[in-house]
Structure formats: structure tokens, C-alpha cells
Structure 1
Amino acid sequence: MASIPGTSEAPTTPMAESTQENHTVPLIILTSLFFMWGFLTVMNDVLIPHLKNYFDLSYTQASLIQFCFFGAYGIMSIPASMIVKRIGYQNGAVLGLIIAGLGCFMFFPAAELSVYAIFLGALFVLASGITILQVSANPYVTRLGSPSGASQRLTLTQAFNSLGTTIGPKVGGLLILGGVTYGATELATMDAEAVTAYYKSKADAVKMPYVFMGLSLVGLAVFFRFMKLPKIVDAELAPGGQYKKAWEYKHLILGAVGIFMYVGGEVSIGSWLINLLADPNVAGLDEEHASALLMYFWGGAMVGRFVGAFLMTSVAPQKLLTICAIVVVALLFSTSFTSGKVAMYSVIAIGLFNSIMFPTIFSLALNRLGAATSEGSGILCVAIVGGAFIPLAQGVLADSVGIQLSYLLPIVCYAYIAFYGFKGYKAD
């Protein structure tokens, strides 16, 4: 097959992947991308309580952080799939890293000017870069080897995404949520100069962490650009063959709904977790200590992905998906209707069972798409926009009925995922 102009990827073909080449090194390199976007994404869970207090936002207003971040997936995924199809998976990943780095650098003027709208704009740019990374890296991993092992490979690499989401809350908690936080009553007793200094310190807390992350992304882009990686080319049609568009695959569309539901449910649970743990009926923790427990939520997802990759050697991925979704539904009921440690441990345990869902849905949905694989990947990444809408809906619900009962909303998401694992995954 012809090489894609402008790429440095070493040619390979889908037929050669499972029999002639060892893709261990490329997979190891790709895990660095999964780690980075996991780390960057989970930092939103730290930003939400920080900016909520700093700008005195309601739950609904604070949910705009996730709305702008995950809204980028809805807007940018299809253009990203077109770009990746033109320049190749490797160059697409490089472009995504550079754009994500630019978004990180935008946090400096946002904090300097103390304007919430600029923070939201920076998050949109950052997420646009991660969108291109997702469109590039997820199908890349599914194609680096035999089709039968796609779910297992993607689950294993996603485990390093979870490593990023595990470390992120701890780092963010120390760098951003650390220090003294004053309430409205305490601020009212302070003079104007002290109040100004307090708010400046809270704004400055986000500057250097994001500038450092921006520099890391640009450095990773340079490294990744000059690595020799296999070139994955979507299957071409035989002469006279007919091209079936991605939209015509029922299991892909049902999978896209599954991705919407999963990302929306997972992001909702994580976004409001610090606020939930601060609720006196649950744990009554301050933000810094609650962010440390958030690390266990995402750590469970990391452990679950390693365990899930092992289990998939003997258990069908779709069966494991259904079982995990049913367990999460039960845990969400427990989170909403119990109190104290039972509610706290129930919500933290959800991370463990969330673990295999995204990579399993993604790989099942891309199964047997052939020439429509990059287009299908774009559609699936559009569905990540669920992370914008469902947390927003939960934020509105939390303002109405309270943070704990708002955790009933994600149950709808996981009920659908159970259906997809039971029946919806079946390819045409």
C-alpha cells in the first residue's frame, strides 16, 4: 500500500500485524500518550472545586468546566478524523500534543486576568488537542496486532491512562487545592488588601502546574515526531468492491451511544466526587483530603484495567462489560441512599468497575469496520461529548435535590452499557 505523504511511520499492513511484526515497542511508546491525556483530563476534577470557590459558582456554573472540555469532542472529532486520515495516525498524535500544550499555556493569562471565560476557552483548546490524540491513538492500538486481541490491548494501554488519572488528583490537590481556603464569612472580616492577596494566590495556584504540563506536551510532541513507528493503513477495497460507510454499521452507532453514556457517567461521578465527599452526610472532608480519596477512585480504574486485560484471556470482553455495568448500577444506588463510610466506599469502588468499559466499548464498536475505521473512530470520539452534557445535567440536579441524590442520574448511563455488552455489540 502507498505511504501517506508527510509521515515518518514505517509501513506495515493489517495482514502483517498479527503474524510478522512485534509491536511491543510501539505499544509502550503509545502508553505515554494515554498517560498524559489521563493526567490532563482528571485535573478538571480538581479545577471544579477550586474555581467554584474562587469565582463563587453554583454547581451548574461550575459544570461548564466539563461542558467546555468535553464539548470540544463533539465539535472537533469529525474534523480530527479527516485530519488523521490525511496526515496519518502518528502525525495526528503530534498535532494533538502541540494543540493540547497551547491550551495549557492559556491558563497563565486566564489566571493573571482572573476571568472564568478565559479558563473555559483554555480548556476547550486543551481538549481539542486531546481529541486529536484520541482519534489517532485509540484505533492505532486496536490495529497493532490481531483483531481478536484488540479489546485486551486497548484495555492494557488504557491502564496507563488510569495511572495518569490516579496521580493527577494527588498532584493537583497539593499544587492547586493546597493552602488555606476562606469562606464568605471569613472574607468579610478581612481588609480589601488581604482579600485581593488571597484571591491572587488562588489564581496563581493554577499557573505553574499548567505551564509545566504544556512544556511536557510540546517535548513529547518533538519526541513522538521523530520516532519510527509502524504505519497503519485502513484496509483498501478490492477492485469493484463497495465502500460501506461507518454510519451504516449498527454496532458502531450503538457503541457511540455507549461511549456517550460511559464518558458522561464516569465524568459526572468524578466531577462531583470532591463535593460529595465534603457533604457532612457522606464524609465531611475538606477539599484537599477529598482530592486524595479521588486518587483511589481513579486508582481503582487503573487496577481494574490490568485485571481486566488478564480476565479477557478467558472471559469474553462483552460479558465482562455487562457484569461491570450491573455492579456500578448497584453501587450508585448505595451511594445515593446510604450515608457515611458505606456511601463513601460505594462511590470510590465504582472506579474499579468502570475500568474496562471505555476500551471495551471502543474496540467492540470498531470491530470489522475495515476501510471505515478512521471514520468510525471519529464518530466514537464525537460521542465523548457525553462528558459535557451529563455532568451539566447532574449539576442542575444537584442544585435542585442535593449532591448525593444527584448520583442517581448516572444509573441510566450504566443500564445502557449493560445492554450494549449483552446485545448491542454484535457486528452486522
Structure 2
Amino acid sequence: MTAQFNNSGAAPRRPILVERRHLLPFLLIACLFATWTFAASLNDVLIRHFQHALDISRTQSSFIQIAFYVGYFCAAIPAGLVIRRLGYKAGILAGLTLYALGAFLFYPAASLQAFPAFLGALYLIAFGLAFLETSANPYVAILGPSVTGAARLNLAQGFAGLGAITGPAVGGLFIISGVERSPADLAAMAPAARAAYRAAEAASVQMPYVTLGSAIVLLGLLIAMTRFPEVGTAKKDLPQGGALQVLRHARLRWAVVAQFCYVGAQVGIWSFFIDFTKDALPHTPERQAAFWLSASIALLMTGRFLGAFLQRLVKPARMLGACAAANIVLCLIATGLVGVPAVAALWLSSLFMSIMFPSIFAMGVEGLGHETEMGSSLLVMAIVGGAFIPPAMGLISEHWGGLHAAMLVPAACFAVCLAFAVLVPGTGRVESGPA
């Protein structure tokens, strides 16, 4: 990249993150980051809430994440093809439409009190979110100098933290009723009273999701009326060899594996944070645990904004490696200790998760050129890790040592991310070009 100099020609300027003429599109894209993390973080509340409202087990409740992240997996390649043919903006509008439809379907699902109906609605939401992520992540990364791509993506992901924070908070206020019934309490209730309690608990999701769907429609209208700059190289035909041909880039292959593991670890920790807190500190109210989860995610947002600055000074791979190592240690603490120290370690892990997703993503798509759309699709497909890791943790928690032992699973996932950070280009072990 050609260096920029000031008028005296004495010193090079640091490349800017976002040009002024691209500021409005960038801010709208940043809003998209907040909307998809809001939906994803609400799942962490639903996992605990539906155990009461729909009388399902902890392992069964993990199917919320399976439906959600399988939706991501199934949509990622179609999203990449749509974006490749019609452009990033078309992909965004398609994603928002599907997102809103899925949110509106929560109303009839709650009326039916049918867990499969909720799973279908979550699948549709995630299908739309895959379009949004496949569009927005690479668009932000290439909306400016390539050298600041990771920093720009970290900045946008900082806005994602706003959605991730407000999701559990909104869930704690408007979905969790605060009326907690133990299994013994429910067994002692008359059948009609028990049915009424569960119907009321299920209905508590209706208005939050209808409101969410309405907000998504309004955001879609605003984006439709805004002109977005064209970026990248438009090519209507797939590269020779098909959509997966882009995997000839070794660094992208590693990034897909690392992203699978990272997302699985993050989703697993956040999915069971409320349950973990209740196990470690039994007298903590569920609503309080949900607020602690929001506070933990606030650390992630703080780390994203800090990371956007630091990655202009420190290589993304080095920061990624340091954060992965820190999270391995924190997961081991949560496994080996009890009470407040265990909860505190899990709570702190969000800070070190902060730069991991955007760093892996930006390093994975760097240098792909006209193949960026398909590379982005594969990295979004890797989000399906969130469908596999939480169920594995749920099974371990119920059969082999509780949630403390289950935290060994995300520790192993972070170890894979650490390996990626060590093996990215610059160490001489993984080439950035075709294998």
C-alpha cells in the first residue's frame, strides 16, 4: 500500500479507518451488527426460560442453538451467491426480510406453546442473519484501506456489543417473569394452575419479538433508501471449480476451522452462563444472572473498541493469540474452582473474546479479491460451531461432571484458535496463497 504523507512530506499518516463520505453507510452497517447480536444473545435467555415455560431439559434447550446455527450454516452459501450476483445491499435487504419474518413467527409459536414452532422461527431468523453477516462483515473489511480492515471490522463489531448487551437485559426485564418455580413447586400445583403458569411464561416472548420484528422492518426501509458505495470486484460467475474452490487458500481453511471453534466456545459459555451461575451460586435470582451476563458482554464491547485502536499498533495475530491463551486459563479456572471465583472467571472471559471473531474473519478474507464473497460465506458457515459445542456441553453437564466439567470444551476450542494465531502468515508455516 502506498504511504500517505502530510503537506510537508515529512511523515507518513496512519491510514484512516472510515472515509467521511462512507460514514453513513458504515453507521447503518454498524446497526446491523447490533441487530444480529441482539437476536443471538436473546437465545441465552430463551435457553433458561424455555426449560420452565415448555418443560424441557437442559440438553433439549440446547436445540435452540442447534436450530439457530444450522440456519446460519444452510444460508451462508446461498447468501454468498445472492451477494455475488446482486450485490451487498441486496443481501442485506434479503437478510432483514427473513429476520423480521422469523421474529413475527414467535407470536403464533407462543400461542401454540410448541417448542418445534419456536425452533422453526429461530431457524428463519438465523437464515436471515447469515445473509446479513455474509454481506456486512466483508463489506466493512473492504470499505477502506486493506491495512485497517481488521481494525475497521473490530470497530463495527464494537457496535455488535451493544446488541449483545441489551439482549440479555431485555430478556431479563421482559421475558423472564421473576416468578421462579422449582420442579417440586410445579409438581405440587394443580394441573390447571401449572398449565396457566406455563402458558403465561410462553406468552412473555410475544411482545418483545413482535417489537423486534417491527424495528427490523424500519431499519430495512432506511437502508433501502440510502445509497451504498460499490466496493470490490463484481463477478457474476463462480470461480472455476465451484463455490468451494476458494478453499485452495490455506489461510482461509485455517480461519474456517478457528471460527468454528471460536463461535462454538462463545455460544457455549454464554448459553450456559445463567445455568452455571445458578449452579455455582444457588441463591442468585435468574434475572440477576441475566444482568450479569449483560455486564459480561459489556466487557466484550469494551474490548472491541479497544481492539480497534490497538490493532493499528499490534499485529492482529499476536492479539488473537494472547486473547485465546487468556481464555484457556479462564475456562480452566471455571472448571477447577467453585463459587464466586468460577463465575468471575467465566464472566471475565468475554473481555478476551472481544477481538477474536473479527480478527479471524479479517485475516481469513484478506487478499481474496473477487473471491471475498465466497470466502465470507464459508466463514459465516463456520458459525455452525454454535450448534455443536453447546449440546456437547449440555451432555457433559448432565452425565459427566456438571457444568464445571463442561467448561473444558470451550477451553479446547480456544486452544485451536491459539494454534491459528501461531500459524497465520508471518510465521512461515502457513502460506497466504493457494495450497
Fold-level match, TM-score > 0.5? Answer: yes
- Deviation of 1:422 after TM superposition, in Å, equals 1.4
C-alpha separation between the residues in 1 aligned to 2:398 and 2:19? 57
Q: Secondary structure at the match of 1:228?
A: coil
The letter of the residue matching 2:407 is Y
Deviations 1:325-364 (A, max 9, x none): 0000000000111112111110000000000000000000
Does 2:393 align with 1:394?
A: yes
C-alpha separation between the residues in 1 aligned to 2:394 and 2:418? 24
Stretches of structure 1 that go unaligned for 5 or more consecutive residues are: 1-16
Does 2:70 align with 1:75?
A: no
User: Is the alpha carbon distance of 1:21 and 1:370 closer, same or farther for their aligned partners in structure 2, counting shifts above 3 Å?
Assistant: farther
Partner of 1:213: 212
Partner of 2:129: 130
User: Is the alpha carbon distance of 1:305 and 1:118 closer, same or farther for their aligned partners in structure 2, counting shifts above 3 Å?
Assistant: same
C-alpha separation between the residues in 2 aligned to 1:186 and 1:138? 47
The letter of the residue matching 1:317 is P
Partner of 2:181: 182
Deviations 1:280-329 (A, max 9, x none): x3464221111010011111100000111111121111100000000000
Partner of 1:413: 413
C-alpha separation between the residues in 2 aligned to 1:110 and 1:402? 31
- Deviation of 1:398 after TM superposition, in Å, equals 1.0
Partner of 1:86: 85
Partner of 2:11: none
The letter of the residue matching 1:84 is I
Contact 2:95 2:128 in 1 (8 A): yes
Partner of 2:30: 31
The letter of the residue matching 1:341 is V
RMSD of equivalent CA atoms? 2.1
C-alpha separation between the residues in 1 aligned to 2:20 and 2:302? 29
Partner of 2:3: none
Deviations 1:70-95 (A, max 9, x none): 01121111111001111110111011
The letter of the residue matching 2:73 is G
- Deviation of 1:236 after TM superposition, in Å, equals 6.8
Contact 1:89 1:232 in 2 (8 A): no
Partner of 2:423: 423
Partner of 1:142: 141
Stretches of structure 2 that go unaligned for 5 or more consecutive residues are: 1-15
Deviations 1:386-412 (A, max 9, x none): 010111111111111211111111111
The letter of the residue matching 1:360 is S
The letter of the residue matching 1:350 is S
The letter of the residue matching 2:356 is M
Partner of 1:200: 199
- Deviation of 1:19 after TM superposition, in Å, equals 11
1:232-311 alignment runs, 5 A limit: 232-234=231-233, 245-279=245-279, 281-282=280-281, 284-311=283-310
Contact 1:324 1:354 in 2 (8 A): yes
Q: Secondary structure at the match of 1:47?
A: helix
Contact 2:54 2:198 in 1 (8 A): no
Deviations 1:256-289 (A, max 9, x none): 011101100000000000000001x346422111
Contact 2:84 2:234 in 1 (8 A): no
C-alpha separation between the residues in 1 aligned to 2:174 and 2:358? 31
Contact 1:322 1:422 in 2 (8 A): yes
C-alpha separation between the residues in 2 aligned to 1:23 and 1:180? 48
Most deviating of 226-235 and 270-279: 226-235
1:337-348 alignment runs, 5 A limit: 337-348=336-347
Task: Count residues with an aligned counterpart.
Answer: 408
- Deviation of 1:191 after TM superposition, in Å, equals 2.8
Deviations 1:136-187 (A, max 9, x none): 1000001100011000000000011011101111111111112312223222
Contact 2:54 2:202 in 1 (8 A): no
Deviations 1:225-261 (A, max 9, x none): 1111101232779xxx999941110000110011101
User: Is the alpha carbon distance of 1:242 and 1:121 closer, same or farther for their aligned partners in structure 2, counting shifts above 3 Å?
Assistant: closer
C-alpha separation between the residues in 1 aligned to 2:57 and 2:186? 18
C-alpha separation between the residues in 1 aligned to 2:413 and 2:191? 47
Contact 1:277 1:284 in 2 (8 A): no
Contact 1:58 1:399 in 2 (8 A): no
Contact 1:328 1:354 in 2 (8 A): yes
Does 2:105 align with 1:106?
A: yes
Most deviating of 216-225 and 269-278: 216-225
C-alpha separation between the residues in 1 aligned to 2:112 and 2:224? 34
- Deviation of 1:204 after TM superposition, in Å, equals 0.8
The letter of the residue matching 2:381 is V
Contact 1:151 1:360 in 2 (8 A): yes
Contact 1:258 1:361 in 2 (8 A): yes
1:346-361 alignment runs, 5 A limit: 346-361=345-360
The letter of the residue matching 2:196 is A
Contact 1:268 1:394 in 2 (8 A): yes
Deviations 1:72-122 (A, max 9, x none): 121111111001111110111011001000000111111000011001111
1:221-236 alignment runs, 5 A limit: 221-234=220-233
Partner of 1:7: none
The letter of the residue matching 1:43 is L
Contact 1:95 1:221 in 2 (8 A): no
User: Is the alpha carbon distance of 1:146 and 1:286 closer, same or farther for their aligned partners in structure 2, counting shifts above 3 Å?
Assistant: same
- Deviation of 1:20 after TM superposition, in Å, equals 8.3
Q: Secondary structure at the match of 1:403?
A: helix
- Deviation of 1:190 after TM superposition, in Å, equals 2.7
Contact 2:53 2:199 in 1 (8 A): no
Most deviating of 50-59 and 129-138: 50-59
Partner of 2:324: 325
The letter of the residue matching 1:406 is A
Q: TM-score, normalised by structure 1?
A: 0.92
Deviations 1:194-220 (A, max 9, x none): 222211110110000001101111111
Partner of 2:6: none
